[in-house]
Structure 1
Amino acid sequence: MNNYEQVLVALRRVIRATDLHSKRLSKTAGLTAPQLLIMQTIRDLGEVTIGTIADKVSLSQATVTIILDRLEQRELVYRVRSEKDKRKVHAHLTESGGSLLDRAPQALQEEFIRKYQNLQSWEQNMIISSLQRVAEMMDASGIDASPFLDVGPINRDHEWKNPTQRDDRKPDPASKLKAS
């Protein structure tokens, strides 16, 4: 196998591992990696503002708000306006959110970070340099990215559907009765 083929195989393995973990997280917990990371941040920091969450997970406040909207619809988090400063909103885990978080698999990057931190500093720097060069070679160095491993758009939803909400893509059986 040529050197460039070895690089492509290694890249494909990273992409595939990220995709498989994302699917497992969605299947077992009904969460995306950004949703998991935000819920973990709320758990770890306690009563926390949206801005603090955004800073901690390296996402914009707008993106965090969209993700929190989806988590709130599922009753996994709730938000409360600050009594002291009405401009601030604090996010909290619900009991079911905490329970789901306890059962969810760990984020893919957690194991990577643990192993990476055990490397010598020269090896860490070599990996950083190599991956930055690969991103540049793939015209991806200018793409905004957050420090967690996931595939697809950050603020996408998962496959979970609220069973009490009707899916508008399916024909409503009652509409046939009205039309007759």
Structure 2
Amino acid sequence: MSSRSDDALIALRKIQRMTELAAKRLAQTAGLAPSQVTVLRLLNEGGELSAGHIAEATQLKHATITSLADKLEARDLIARRRCDEDRRKVWLSILPAGQAALAEVPDPLHETFASRFDELPEWQQAMLIASLECVTSLLNAEKIDASPYLDLGDIA
């Protein structure tokens, strides 16, 4: 392996490690995964929202939102109710315990990244996206389903 490929792999490993550390910190602090925090924040800001709206806003699959809602509801952080007009539609709202949990949460890594990324000039943003897409291709990862949230999944 060349020195440059070693440098690239080290950079990738640092990104992976930072994602792991941020998820662990969040789990230790609030007992929540980054995607759960995102759902709580959306509900805190938007009031009662449909599960479909949350899936669109987070770019997560409906099944993933259902699983997140199950876990948040089991901890009494959110409430869920079926729409009267269309029983397939589910409305979610944050409960006081969910708001209290949010008060303890450090900024998720994806929010820190997004804030710093948005401050970069457009040419640099485009260059980074092109480079990351190239890395995705080098790893044969183009077909892997992913949302824009840096989340390792279930924290259990």
Q: Shorter-chain-normalised TM-score: which range?
A: over 0.9
Which is worse superposed, 124-133 or 40-49? 40-49
Aligned mates of 1:125, 1:5 — CA distance in 2? 24
Question: Which residue in 2 is equivalent to 1:98?
Answer: 99
Aligned mates of 1:82, 1:142 — CA distance in 2? 35
Question: Which residue in 1 is equivalent to 2:9?
Answer: 8
Question: Which residue in 2 is equivalent to 1:54?
Answer: 55
Q: Answer 1 or 2: which has greater helix percent.
A: 2
Aligned mates of 2:95, 2:126 — CA distance in 1? 40
Map 1:116-127 → 2, pairs under 5 A? 116-127=117-128
Question: Which residue in 2 is equivalent to 1:129?
Answer: 130
Offset of residue 84 of structure 1: 4.5
Read off the aligned partner of 1:90 and give its amino acid letter: W
Aligned mates of 2:90, 2:102 — CA distance in 1? 22
CA contact (8 A) 2:77 2:94 kept: yes
Map 1:135-150 → 2, pairs under 5 A? 135-150=136-151
Question: Which residue in 2 is equivalent to 1:170?
Answer: none
TM-score (norm: length of structure 1):
0.82
Superposed CA offset, 1:7-51 (max 9, x none): 111111100100000000001100011111111111121110000
Map 1:13-162 → 2, pairs under 5 A? 13-151=14-152, 154=153, 156=154, 158-159=155-156
Read off the aligned partner of 1:118 and give its amino acid letter: E
CA contact (8 A) 2:79 2:95 kept: yes
Aligned mates of 2:62, 2:37 — CA distance in 1? 16
CA contact (8 A) 2:48 2:94 kept: no
Question: Which residue in 2 is equivalent to 1:164?
Answer: none
CA contact (8 A) 2:78 2:98 kept: yes
Question: Which residue in 2 is equivalent to 1:162?
Answer: none
The percentage of counterpart residues that share the same residue type is 37
Read off the aligned partner of 2:142 and give its amino acid letter: S
**SS of the residue aligned with 1:106?**
coil
**SS of the residue aligned with 1:105?**
coil
Structure 2, unmatched stretches of 5+, are: none
Aligned mates of 1:5, 1:33 — CA distance in 2? 30
Larger Rg: 1
Aligned mates of 1:126, 1:6 — CA distance in 2? 18
Aligned mates of 1:110, 1:62 — CA distance in 2? 23
Which is worse superposed, 75-84 or 140-149? 75-84
**SS of the residue aligned with 1:67?**
helix
Q: CA RMSD in A?
A: 1.4
Q: How many residues align?
A: 155
